[in-house]
Chain A
Amino acid sequence: MKPAPFAYTRPTTIEEALIALASDPYAKVLAGGQSLVPLLSMRLAAPALLVDINGLAELETIHVSEAGEGVVRIGALARHAAVEADEDVRRVQPLISNALKLVAHPTIRNRGTTVGSIVHADASAEMPAVLMLLDGSVTVRSVDGERTIGVHDLFVGPLESSLAPNEIAVSAQFPALAEGTGVACDEVARRHGDYALCGVAAVVGVDGAGAVTSARAAYWSMGDVPVAVDLTEAFVGGRLSDEHLAAAAELALPHLEATEDIHATADYRAQLARVLTRRVVRAAYDDAVARRETNS
């Protein structure tokens, strides 16, 4: 299993990288390569030119801003492991660190990048769904300039994002955890570290009396693109019980595409979505309540 031949360049500035990428319509950016290299080795992809951005230290940044609503901005070369270990990221948006623990194995996270995982647009990956849930964005650059793509315009289809061939994703922005909200995520995989059969992340808002004010969940491995669903209406009167959680799961299912493959039947996947919705929404609710208690 060896990649097909390609030309290679390792720019030392982002401007050089943008020019190289624009020079060939079949060029591809190499960052962590933890998804790209297997695709090349299996010859599922055969770009003419690889633009290796691993020399661009300016893209390694992890920036946390607490001004206004707050945002975590992750640079294109920040490895999963570095983001996961960042205390500021954990404090400002804990769902990022929580979800990163589910991304493959630590050895893969040492090299793989969070932004790379997002623009790889794999619907069975955690971080695209997390960005979707949090309503984040990705900033991209090309020789023509810079633009920011909202997450709802980012994922087009399986392994397909709305980036143009000459664009490099330079950062991803995750909004901070809002006051009065809590987060959680979980997944079921055949083996620890494998792609999930189904995964769920949730954000739940509670008021001072412990009533649910909002509930949203995002799903991975449940369709061609990550899906986020608003589940607030399932929690009638703001109450959260087993019945309300079950209703929330039923509310989500029509938005999901449980498909059959060698690992799971469609019915089994749908059942996982039900179980994980109940489990994760409850955990996010508990997290919100706990944060309220800590802050008061």
Chain B
Amino acid sequence: MTQTQPTEELLDVRLIVNGASHDIRIPARRLLSDALRHDVGLTGTHVGCEHGVCGACTILLDGTPVRACLLFAVSVAGQELTTVEGLANPDGTLGPVQQAFKECHGLQCGFCTPGFLTTITAGLKDNPDPTEDEAREMVSGNLCRCTGYQNIAKSVCRAAELINGQGKGDQE
């Protein structure tokens, strides 16, 4: 060895997760999924395949679903991040997508669930009244190794009902 390994540089990064600021000191190579779990301490975001295939680590970046394992934390400093911990109602009760998963048995082991919940939360904002086919399309980028897809698709439609029911209540 002619070269000695330099000490890895650490960067000061502010992540805004579910409305709260977190100042962390991390190397540039820290994946966002790892930063959320290890540096911020929010372990709701799960890490499955770690190369963008499984969807378990899906979070919302400025409201849009993205894979946390395909982003460097430093690259999203200052942007609004929403993890599964941010999907509950302000009073701590289950949010509509979570409630739908509970009612429809949309989860079995629960490992993939955080990625589904974030994906569906954003998906129903774009398409508040999906058909069953559209519900399946909405979750087509997420894998469930318990293969509980039937009930997950049902949960999407149920979540839409819950959200629209609340909406109607406000309007009528």
Q: What is A's interface to B at a CB cutoff of 8 Å?
A: 1-8, 10, 30, 33-34, 37-38, 40-42, 50, 52, 54, 81, 104-108, 110-111, 192-193
Contact = CB atoms under 8 A, between A and B. Distances in A.
B71 interface: yes
B72 interface: yes
Contact of A108 (B9, B27, B31, B67): B67
B141 A38 contact: no
B94 interface: no
Contact of A193 (B11, B27, B141): B141
B25 interface: no
B66 interface: yes
A6 B8 CA distance: 8
Interface string B4-27: 000011010000000000000001
Interface in B114-172: 119, 140-141
Given A107-B58, A107-B65, A1 B50 contact: yes
Given A5-B29, A111-B66, A37 B72 contact: yes
Contacts of B71: 33, 37, 111
Given A30-B75, A54-B75, 7 more contacts: A2-B29, A5-B29, A10-B74, A38-B52, A105-B140, A105-B141, A108-B67
Nearest to B115: A107
B119 A8 contact: no
Given A37-B70, A41-B31, A50-B28, A7 B140 contact: no
19 contacts: A1-B51, A5-B8, A5-B28, A7-B9, A10-B74, A33-B71, A50-B28, A52-B74, A104-B141, A107-B65, A107-B67, A107-B119, A108-B67, A110-B66, A111-B61, A111-B67, A111-B70, A192-B140, A193-B141
Contacts of A111: 61, 66-67, 70-71
Interface residues of B, number: 27
B55 interface: yes
Contacts of B140: 105, 192-193
Interface string B27-66: 1110100100000000000000011100100100100111
A108 B141 contact: yes
Given A54-B75, A106-B141, A193-B141, A34 B29 contact: no
B21 to A, nearest CB: 19
Interface in B67-124: 67, 69-72, 74-75, 119
Contacts of A105: 55, 140-141
A10 B29 CA distance: 13
A78 to B, nearest CB: 14
Contact of A7 (B28, B65, B66, B70): B28
Counting chain B CB atoms within 10 Å of each CB, which of A6, A41, A54, A107 scores highest?
A107
Contact of B29 (A6, A52, A81, A106): A6
Nearest to A33: B70
Nearest to B70: A37
A145 B57 CA distance: 40
A174 B127 CA distance: 30
A8 B27 CA distance: 9
Contacts of B74: 8, 10, 52
Contacts of B29: 2-6, 40
Nearest to A79: B64
Nearest to B79: A54
A205 B70 CA distance: 41
A111 B79 CA distance: 14
Given A7-B28, A54-B75, A105-B141, A41 B67 contact: no
Nearest to A4: B29
A1 B70 CA distance: 12
Contacts of A8: 11, 28, 72, 74
A80 B29 CA distance: 24
Nearest to A37: B70
A42 B52 contact: no
Contacts of A40: 29
Contacts of A106: 65, 141
B33 to A, nearest CB: 10
B51 A10 contact: no
B28 A107 contact: no
Contacts of B141: 104-108, 193
B70 A34 contact: yes
